[in-house]
Amino acid sequence: MGKIAFVFPGQGSQYIGMGRDLYEKYDVVKKVFDEFDFILEKKLSKLCFEGNEEDLKQTLNSQPAILAVSIAAYEVLKANSNLVPDYLAGHSLGEYSALYAGGVINLQEIIKLVQKRAELMSEAPSGSMTAILGMDDEKIEQLVNEASSEGIICAANYNTPDQTVISGETKAVERANELAKELGAKRVIPLAVSGGFHSPLMKPIAEKFEKYVNNTNVNDAGINIITNVDAKPTVDKAEFSSKMIKQIYSSVYWKQTITYMVEQGVDIFVEIGPGKVLSGMIRKICKTASVYNVSDVESLEKLLNECVIEVGV
């Protein structure tokens, strides 16, 4: 029998209506949303279920909203199955859902911490991000080096073998967008973001965030969490604290994270939270993996019907 990993999505996976049918069917989901609404002193649930897209995509709202749906979906899966993951991971913001699932930070504290993260990141200095398709790591490195003459720029997200996101000062990213085609990129897709996330531009934000991390109760993990900043398993609470700060300005090594778990024997991945962004990435990284997602009642039932049989629970 192979191993199982639970993975959690990050910013960009949000959509209006997310979590609603789970909320209407399961009391445990209501409890999670009630906690978010109470601590944040706003109707986050209403924004998720029937808000408008412009409001939901604002960093200030999207980060706690995605966290809420991901934790709620995780709790409902836990309550309705015997599936126990061998590994946990999350993409950028999604790493906080993984920290919750691994017992590193409790619900009340993680809500407060992610809200602070969202507030700080929404004040980030202006910058740009672009998804580059069809260039390997070597070419990406060349691209970044050449464009750096125009300012700060780096590879921000190593998403799949075919997709890397670059980030940094707008002038440098625009130069990279021009160069990418010359260097053989299949597609160059500027992203609708307000800052150069996961780049050195975010260091001042990380420094401000540090005091909130230091005031949070952080525990050792009960399950190996593969962290974004190095694609390595982590269980130590001190490591988590330093990595949460570093993650804000460091690259997200997502394809390396998935590859590591596959090498450790993981052949079933369950994406827990809104959308199927990570599911699509995982299929591109490992074509033989079985990939499921839990984002609504239908996908939960599909997982419970198929995956439980597959792993013989």
Do residues 105 and 167 share a domain? no
Residues 281 and 134 in one domain: no
Domain tally, the chain: 2
In tens digits, the chain (313 residues) has pLDDT values of: 689 999 999 998 999 999 999 999 999 999 999 999 999 999 999 999 999 998 998 899 999 999 999 999 999 999 999 899 999 999 999 999 999 999 999 999 999 999 999 999 998 888 999 999 999 999 999 999 999 999 999 999 999 999 999 999 999 999 999 999 999 999 999 987 878 999 999 999 999 999 999 999 999 999 999 999 999 999 999 999 999 999 999 999 999 999 999 999 999 999 999 999 999 999 999 999 999 999 999 999 999 988 754 544 4
Same domain, 159 and 206: no
209, 75: one domain: yes
Looking at the fold, whether 61 and 25 belong to one and the same domain comes out as yes
Catalytic, out of 62, 198, 290, 295: 198
Q: CATH number for the domain including 179?
A: 3.30.70.250
Q: What is the DSSP string of 26-46?
A: -HHHHHHHHHHHHHHTS-HHH
Domain span at residue 168 reads 128-194
Residue 132 CA to residue 179 CA, distance in Å, equals 11
- The residue among 194, 212, 231 that closes a domain is 194
Q: Which of 144, 163, 194 is the last residue of a domain?
A: 194
Residue 3, exposed/middle/buried by CB under 10 A (0-12, 13-18, 19+)? middle
Our answer to whether residue 92 is catalytic in this structure is yes
What per-residue confidence (pLDDT) applies to 308?
56
**241 and 104, same structural domain?**
yes
* Residues 20, 117 within the same domain: yes
- Is the domain of 13 the same as that of 36? yes
Instruction: Name which of 97, 120, 151, 145 is nearest 270 in CA terms.
Output: 97
Q: Are residues 142 and 167 in the same domain?
A: yes
Q: What is the CATH number of the domain that holds 267?
A: 3.40.366.10
pTM (2 d.p.): 0.95
Which is the catalytic residue, given 13, 62, 92, 290?
92
Q: How far apart are CA 235 and CA 86, in angstroms?
A: 13
Residue 163, H or E segment: strand 163-168
185 and 306 part of one domain: no
- Kind and range of the H or E run holding 132: strand 128-133
Residues 167 and 212 both lie in one domain: no
Q: Is 128 known to be catalytic?
A: no
Residues 95 and 150 in one domain: no
Name 90's bridge partners: 8
pLDDT at 41 (0 to 100): 94
Last residue of a domain, one of 194, 223, 238: 194
pLDDT reported for residue 1: 62
Q: Are residues 95 and 228 in contact, defined by beta-carbon separation less than 8 angstroms? A: yes
